Chains A and B, each alone.
Chain A
Amino acid sequence: MTSKHREISIAEFFEKNKHILGYSNPSKALITCVREAVDNSLDACEEAGILPDILVKITKAGDNVFRIVVEDNGPGIEREHIPRVFGKLLYGSRFHAIKQSRGQQGIGISSAVLYAQITTGKPAIVVSKMEGGKAYRFEIMIDTKKNEPEIVREEETEWFSPHGTRIELEVRGSYVKERKQSVYEYLKETSVVNPHARITFITPDGEIHEFKRITSEPPEPPREIKPHPHGIEIGPLLAMLKTTKARDLRNFLKSEFVRIGDRISDEIILKSGLDAKADPRSLTREDAEKLLNAFRLTDLLPPPVDCLSPIGDRLIMKSLMEEYSPEFVYAVTRKPRVYSGHPFLVEAGVAYGGEIKEDKVTLLRFANKIPLLYQQSGCALTQAVVSVNWKNYGLQQSKNELPVAPAVILVHVASTNVPYVSESKEAVAGIPEIIEEIRLALQECGRRLKEYVERKKTIQKRKKKEEELLKIIPLLAEKISQVVEKEPIDHEKVIARIMGKIYVTRHVRNGKAIIEICNFSNSRKRFRIYEMCDGGINGERIAKWDVEVEPKETLKIEYEFRGRHVNSRPLVEGVDNEFVSGAEVVRFGIGAESTESTA
């Protein structure tokens, strides 16, 4: 059993694992390079509490060769770290950091550097500057035998930006437009779940797309928490045992995990059969297995869940509104939950109608604020959406398919450990707790959508009916007077009655006028009526009455006047135009006492 391990070169490793790293084909490779850089930028800004301003520029550098530039206004990277961040795979391994983050393997950006190096032989050009410091420019390649950065060139440089990082890569790839899987779509979806970011994208054709920042509040950065015993696996546990500062097993458990205090640590040690005083570094793999088993047998409080950083229902709605201009939008942020010792949280949003014309639902999947562009059908988020009975909410749907509607459905899962189906992080595995949470979130969105659509339908129907009646009744009145050969009818009162409005008329006879007010609505109405005569009414030029009319009630105001009315119809104030007929709606704002009150 002696070590027959051959050091495999990092290039070989990459070649063998291209598919899981996201470089399986030229168009995907291009997206992955952009994505690794942008994810890094967003994470860096988030940690530093900076509102991200990211520029992505892709230019054609040759046949199937593209130059990618990603520039951010992040905090910048310390000079000595720059080569390793970009030139060493698995550098800065965040294995122990239990928190919600975009990259989870630390292989990210260096894999893009390696891909560039393998396909075009060109080094990555990195410029970075920290606040108040100098800007440094590096040309970096990766020594694929040693997995160490090789600095081709290093120099101080001038950069107008107060702080930030810029990376330039030349890669073999292919650029696709207007497809679900494209750089454009990736950036658009990224912008949806990062409403605090401004992303500018310059395409190879020179088009400029700007994804606006729609909130100036940076998200609460996710908090780091210690691992929960129920969520830990053997590999990380071994690593923790090797690197801990604790002197003995008891202290190791208490200091390196959440939810373990004196009592629980004793209980675990008892169940594991290990020695509480043992040096953690001396524990073998078998010991670690015993420890894991003891974890499993011990009841523990779930991990704290306040470490997650949701997008927030309000911002999801705002984002969807901004990107898709729908007529309806709704979003839900569920409370955090736990699966197998890992806190997670689900958010869902629905945008419907408006500018969304396509009748096929567009599904946006996100994990820790990263858009998932591939493997839609094999993803638990899709399964959850499909498993909801959208017919209940008034949408068409065939069994096991996405609903058919002009709509966008968004699902976001945030977790300290998103359970991906595979290393390529393209699809989420079907964890029942997560699927159930997604379903609950979508069902709430569905209910709201249904309410909206139904309300809209009733309003439309009523409006259409009103419009038609408005045409028919006058025609009927006209024709019927013609048939009976009598004077034309004023049909306004009939329409007011049908429409449930307030109807006001004035009858004049021998210097006396009667105003008749009929309330055909379903509620009590209070408003003010004005009349004006050149010879005065009850001694005043303008007469006012405050009236209150109950539903179905008819009120009469009688008054004497001299001269002629200045206003052809009575004036009313305090009711909307659409609720009145037979009178002119005005807005005088005269606060004076009314001449006479009628009840």
Chain B
Amino acid sequence: MELEQKALKALLSIAESIYSQLKEGRIPEIEISSRTKYNIEFDEESEVWVYGDRTSTRSAKTLKGAYMLLRMAYVMGFLKDQLRINKSSTLRELYYISENWGLAKFDEQSDSDRLIEDLEILTAFQREHFHIRPEEDGATVVGPIKIREETRRGVREIHCQDDVGEGGYQIPVNVDRLEFVEHDAKFVIAIETGGMRDRLIENGFDEQFDAIIVHLKGQPARSTRRLLKRINTELGLPVVVFTDGDPWSYRIYASVAYGSIKSAHLSEYLATPSAMFVGIRPSDIVKYKLPADKLSEQDIRALNAILTDPRFDTDFWKSEVKLQLELGKKSEQQALAKYGLDYVTDVYLPERLSELGVIKS
């Protein structure tokens, strides 16, 4: 509760600053870290990517800036009231609430989501402290770990193999309230696509290799990334990420391992710097002769963008991305089915995981 009061105070200090600027007859403006790939820096201490010193100024001199400040004033007013009566709302609800704000109404939910992120950056608090939460995104866990969750209907202890169906244990919004009771796991494997996650479970990969299988469901939600981070640091388990072999998937890996550009202010809290990339690597397309599709224009643009993304500034990524541009091809995880349904669990993953030193061959 105390955290919430501090968050509120931080919020109000922004409001105060706008107020006093207006009062003095100055054009109100606020300064905020610029959220581009050119303004993220590697933090040696935490080994994650955080925002650098570059800031951009949002001023009421421009229409865009004026709207942003107006919306921010409304959001701050709303958060203040919400905290006062101890309620919470989802990002989507906030977006709909703005329907009543006249000119301050958001055009799209991405705009209101972004404004909440702005407030996180400006106050150095997280949206949960303002009682704003995301939707349940349904990412799941299957594996030899027992979790204690405080639900609204009492405390539950759930073993993620014995107490769950094939769907697995659903990651709740507030991962910080979970407790890890016990586990027999050796590592965590985070998987991009549902199809591959189901394949691993059907093949009993979690039991055979003592693995915790986490489904990322595309670009992972904060809760999923927070869970990976907690398992990694608190239980000391290695995390590996298994995705498709295209630029969008590499970004998924980057957001798990390095932190995302959009929420680099939370990198320390969300990123798992030791997370390793399993594949599909462009070199796998060659090595395993995987069926592949042609790169689209957007793919090529995204790959070139990766070449200038500081997070990918390593020999591994440089050579892999260049190889991919040469090949002009991309492959999906499920392309491994070319060699049979068991190939991924019997051959590919054991090979890759022993290369990475996660399992002993």
Interface residues of A, Cβ cutoff 8 Å to B: 465, 468-469, 471-473, 475-477, 479-484, 486, 489, 491, 493-494, 497-498, 503, 518
Contacts and interface: CB of A to CB of B under 8 A. Distances in A.
25 contacts: A469-B60, A471-B103, A472-B60, A472-B63, A472-B66, A472-B67, A473-B66, A475-B104, A476-B18, A476-B60, A476-B73, A479-B74, A479-B104, A480-B15, A483-B12, A483-B15, A483-B76, A484-B16, A489-B19, A494-B22, A494-B26, A494-B27, A497-B27, A498-B27, A498-B61
A481 B27 contact: no
Given A480-B22, A481-B19, A489-B22, A468 B63 contact: yes
Given A473-B66, A483-B77, A484-B12, A489 B27 contact: no
Interface in B93-129: 102-104
Contact of B103 (A472, A480, A481, A486): A472
Nearest to A482: B77
B239 to A, nearest CB: 42
B201 interface: no
Contacts of A498: 27, 60-61
B358 interface: no
Question: Across chains A and B, which 7 residue pairs bring their CB atoms closest together, nearest first?
Answer: A493-B25, A479-B73, A472-B66, A483-B15, A483-B77, A476-B70, A480-B73
A483 B73 contact: yes
Contact of A479 (B26, B63, B70): B70
B177 interface: no
A473 B22 CA distance: 9
A472 B65 CA distance: 11
Contacts of A494: 22, 25-28, 60
A472 B67 CA distance: 7
Contact of B69 (A465, A476, A497, A503): A476
B23 interface: yes
Contacts of B23: 489
A497 B12 contact: no
Given A472-B70, A475-B70, A484 B15 contact: yes
A480 B25 CA distance: 14
B80 interface: yes
Interface in B1-39: 12, 15-16, 18-19, 22-23, 25-28
Contacts of B12: 483-484
Interface in B38-77: 60-61, 63, 66-67, 69-70, 73-74, 76-77
A469 B76 contact: no
A330 B15 CA distance: 53
Interface of B: 12, 15-16, 18-19, 22-23, 25-28, 60-61, 63, 66-67, 69-70, 73-74, 76-77, 80, 102-104
A209 to B, nearest CB: 48
Contacts of A475: 70, 102-104
B189 to A, nearest CB: 47
A480 B60 CA distance: 14
Contacts of A489: 19, 22-23
Nearest to A497: B27
A465 B63 contact: yes
Given A479-B77, A484-B16, A491 B70 contact: no
A476 B104 CA distance: 9
B119 to A, nearest CB: 13
Contact of A480 (B19, B61, B102): B19
Contacts of A493: 25
A501 to B, nearest CB: 12
Contacts of A481: 19
Nearest to A518: B25
Nearest to A516: B25
B28 A469 contact: no
A533 B3 CA distance: 56
A444 B18 CA distance: 51
Contact of A476 (B26, B28, B80): B28
Given A494-B27, A494-B28, A477 B22 contact: yes
Given A473-B60, A475-B102, A486-B19, 19 more contacts: A465-B63, A469-B63, A469-B66, A472-B103, A473-B66, A475-B70, A476-B60, A476-B66, A479-B73, A479-B74, A479-B77, A483-B15, A483-B19, A483-B73, A484-B12, A484-B16, A494-B22, A498-B61, A518-B25
B99 to A, nearest CB: 16
A482 B22 CA distance: 13
B18 A480 contact: yes
A479 B78 CA distance: 11
B312 to A, nearest CB: 40
Contacts of B73: 476, 479-480, 483
Contacts of A469: 60, 63, 66
B15 to A, nearest CB: 5
A484 B19 contact: yes
A569 to B, nearest CB: 16
A86 to B, nearest CB: 71
A471 B80 CA distance: 24
B236 to A, nearest CB: 45
A288 to B, nearest CB: 73
A476 B60 CA distance: 10
A475 B103 CA distance: 9
Contacts of B27: 494, 497-498
A518 B25 CA distance: 11
Contacts of B69: 476
A503 B66 CA distance: 21
A404 B67 CA distance: 36
Contacts of A482: 77
A482 B70 CA distance: 13
A479 B102 CA distance: 12
Contacts of A491: 22
Contacts of A476: 18, 22, 28, 60, 66, 69-70, 73
Nearest to A496: B25
A480 B77 CA distance: 8
A484 B11 CA distance: 10
B302 to A, nearest CB: 34
A187 B15 CA distance: 69
B4 to A, nearest CB: 17
A469 B64 CA distance: 10
Contacts of B63: 465, 468-469, 472
Contacts of A468: 63, 66
A121 to B, nearest CB: 76
Contacts of A477: 22
Most buried by A among B16, B18, B26: B18
Contacts of A486: 19
Nearest to A478: B73
B22 A497 contact: no
A471 B103 CA distance: 9
Contacts of A473: 60, 66
A502 to B, nearest CB: 13
A471 B25 CA distance: 17
Contacts of B28: 476, 494
Contacts of A480: 15, 18-19, 22, 73
A493 B24 CA distance: 8
